[in-house]
Structure 1
Amino acid sequence: MPPLRTPLPAPLRGVVPPLITPLTPEGEVDTASVRRLTTHLIGAGVHALFLLGSSGEAAYLTDAQRRTALEAAVDAAAGRVPVLAGIIETTTPRALERAEDAVKAGADALVATAPFYTRTHPAEIARHFRRLRAGADLPLFAYDIPASVHTKLDRATLLALAADGTLAGLKDSSGDEGSLRRLLAPLRAAAPAFTVLTGSELTVDGALLAGVDGVVPGLGNVDAHGYVRLYEAARAGDWAAARAEQDRLAALFALVDAGDPARMGGSSSALGAFKAAAHLRGLIACPATAAPQVPLAEREIAYVRDLLVAAGLL
């Protein structure tokens, strides 16, 4: 029997946390913690969930681990909110394999980057997304994250793919807010039902004011209630309240700097801090990150704890 799908609003609006992937001390997916975190986020009022993105450590997981995490989250969500599944891969055939896994697991939409490692032309990127959409009968979101894939999705390509129905939405993690602002008006004219989600979690109030539909905040794993309050204040036109909540979240975001840059990379620091915070809050059983990332030391976890206390989360 095929899995039941959760209808995807068009556009999809609200807070869409990119789930971290809880791991056991041995590095396997902790499905009980996946379920607990999923249930917590839905209880906080989020509007959808994004599995297997950057915060989900998808680049570090095996194909089997990706399937396990996605299946656990879909089962725990139980149709209460849509589940978007990352199918991030270097090439089109590989992404199509991940799309097949996501369809079987019961995901409600797919999220893909441009191909990476090899250099690609905008025409090739457009062909990539069109082949993905043709290969899986689910809404497809483009994930613009040039810091990781070394390709910035250009406006002309996005407009064309939105207008012809290839793409249902965009997760913009480019950090180029000017480019995003220039995209919004022509995009609304070309495809009014198209979803635009910002991944820039420190400037959500401004992005919502500019017209994006929602946010995909890695910090939402730690403080989903805060992002829901921010979104609801913005929707109500209470921009002072939205700004105040954004300021509080910006202060909490300092936890991504917990790791000592002399001994670990930024990914180890940020993902380690998200997991440490979720562990301290009792949302996951273990703060382990995937190899070869360096774990946080006790003094760095204490720094995360202090920020949680200051934010009123412990």
Structure 2
Amino acid sequence: MTLTPLTGVIPPVCTPLTPDREVDVPSLLRLVDHLLAGGVSGLFVLGSTSEAAYLPDRQRRLVVESVAAHVSGQVPVLAGAIDMTTARVLDHVASVTAAGADAVVVTAPFYARTHPAEIARHYRAVAAGSPVPVIAYDLPVAVHTKLPADVVLQLAADGVLAGLKDSSGDLAAFRQVLTGARDHQGITGFSVLTGSELIVDAALALGADGTVPGLGNVDPHGYVRLDRLCRSGDWDEARAEQDRLCALFGMVTVGDPARMGPGSSAIGAFKAALHLRGVIDCPATAEPQVPLSPDEVARVGKYLAAAGLL
């Protein structure tokens, strides 16, 4: 199955939870409407910002079913099929595609150490078993493997991969994929997306097709505006907008590192911001993440006010 090449802003959708840690579907759908109103080009559910690693399978499926039914084809819905081994990923692929996902986003295998040849076998097996296109997810901070550019490009040339979401933060390696995809005559319709919200202007200047910014949950209008400025060649205005978004991104540091990890701080800040903006009912994060304190939530509010969002 083919997928129209992905471009523009495709935020990784937060998963609103109730105080007892069930999926808050009404809040989730309000968040989807908030993103669509911001002009996004697609939605990525069950990624890192979605807390996919924390959600049991029944909740993962509920998220995809709810979003796909609500969107009803307005924009593509990408769903993470993220797990340790090929067989487990294929189980997730079957679940999320039955729930309505238009494409799946897949990391390299993890837990066991993985050779590049095994990574390639993994993606070939997943693509062979998937009824929808497969997008590679380069996330070395979580899976402890950097996807080699030559492997990605060969899989793209062979029609195994429809795209790459690069959250490595390695701009040089990202450029290598972009250059290789542009110069390889056998690669067509391959979308290269950055997941690094702080360098969107640089990535688009290099030729990236789009961006998958976690902060896009909080300010989708800002990232869509940035995307349009870059595509129109208004680089001074684009730089100013990127600078504003970089300042807003400072909210991810509000959590006290003495009592929580960076994931708790970042996801907690995004959800606190969405709660303060009236988009979701509850800022709860999945266990065992540590919740933000009232003082930390107040600091999130100051970031929003400084960015003109409150």
Q: Indicate yes or no: 2:258 matched with 1:226.
A: no
Shift of 1:8: 3.2
Aligned to 1:93: 87
Aligned to 2:188: 192
Shift of 1:75: 1.4
Query: Is the Cα contact below 8 Å between 2:3 and 2:162 reproduced in 1?
Result: no
Output aligned runs, 1:110-189, within 5 Å. Answer: 110-189=104-183
Shift of 1:179: 1.1
CA displacement 1:216-247 (0-9 Å, x = unmatched): 00000000000000000111111111111100
1:240 partner amino acid: D
- SS of the residue corresponding to residue 166 of structure 1 reads coil
User: In 1, distance between residues paired with 2:229 and 2:128?
Assistant: 38
Aligned to 1:54: 48
Query: Is the Cα contact below 8 Å between 1:83 and 1:109 reproduced in 2?
Result: yes
Shift of 1:192: 3.3
1:8 partner amino acid: L
Q: Indicate yes or no: 2:76 matched with 1:108.
A: no
Q: Indicate yes or no: 2:292 matched with 1:296.
A: yes
Aligned with 2:252 (options 237, 241, 256): 256
User: TM-score, length-normalised on structure 1?
Assistant: 0.97
Q: Indicate yes or no: 2:21 matched with 1:27.
A: yes
Query: Is the Cα contact below 8 Å between 1:188 and 1:194 reproduced in 2?
Result: no
- SS of the residue corresponding to residue 289 of structure 1 reads coil
2:124 partner amino acid: R
CA displacement 1:73-115 (0-9 Å, x = unmatched): 1112111000000000000011001000111111100000000
- SS of the residue corresponding to residue 124 of structure 1 reads helix
2:203 partner amino acid: A
User: In 1, distance between residues paired with 2:3 and 2:119?
Assistant: 25
Unaligned regions of 5+ residues in structure 2, if any?
none
Output aligned runs, 1:27-46, within 5 Å. Answer: 27-46=21-40
User: In 2, distance between residues paired with 1:222 and 1:271?
Assistant: 11
User: In 2, distance between residues paired with 1:208 and 1:229?
Assistant: 13
Query: Is the Cα contact below 8 Å between 1:171 and 1:196 reproduced in 2?
Result: yes
CA displacement 1:189-227 (0-9 Å, x = unmatched): 221321000011001001000000000000000000000
Identity of aligned residues (%): 60
1:201 partner amino acid: E
Query: Is the Cα contact below 8 Å between 1:198 and 1:214 reproduced in 2?
Result: yes
- SS of the residue corresponding to residue 67 of structure 2 reads helix
- SS of the residue corresponding to residue 192 of structure 2 reads strand
Output aligned runs, 1:63-102, within 5 Å. Answer: 63-102=57-96
User: In 2, distance between residues paired with 1:66 and 1:182?
Assistant: 33
Aligned to 1:8: 3
Shift of 1:183: 2.1
- SS of the residue corresponding to residue 79 of structure 2 reads strand
Query: Is the Cα contact below 8 Å between 2:103 and 2:134 reproduced in 1?
Result: yes
Shift of 1:43: 1.2
Unaligned regions of 5+ residues in structure 1, if any?
none
User: In 2, distance between residues paired with 1:243 and 1:230?
Assistant: 8
- SS of the residue corresponding to residue 45 of structure 1 reads coil
1:226 partner amino acid: G
Output aligned runs, 1:267-306, within 5 Å. Answer: 267-306=263-302
User: In 2, distance between residues paired with 1:114 and 1:81?
Assistant: 26
User: In 2, distance between residues paired with 1:244 and 1:78?
Assistant: 35
CA displacement 1:120-157 (0-9 Å, x = unmatched): 11111111101111101111100001010000000111
User: In 1, distance between residues paired with 2:111 and 2:180?
Assistant: 31
- SS of the residue corresponding to residue 260 of structure 1 reads coil
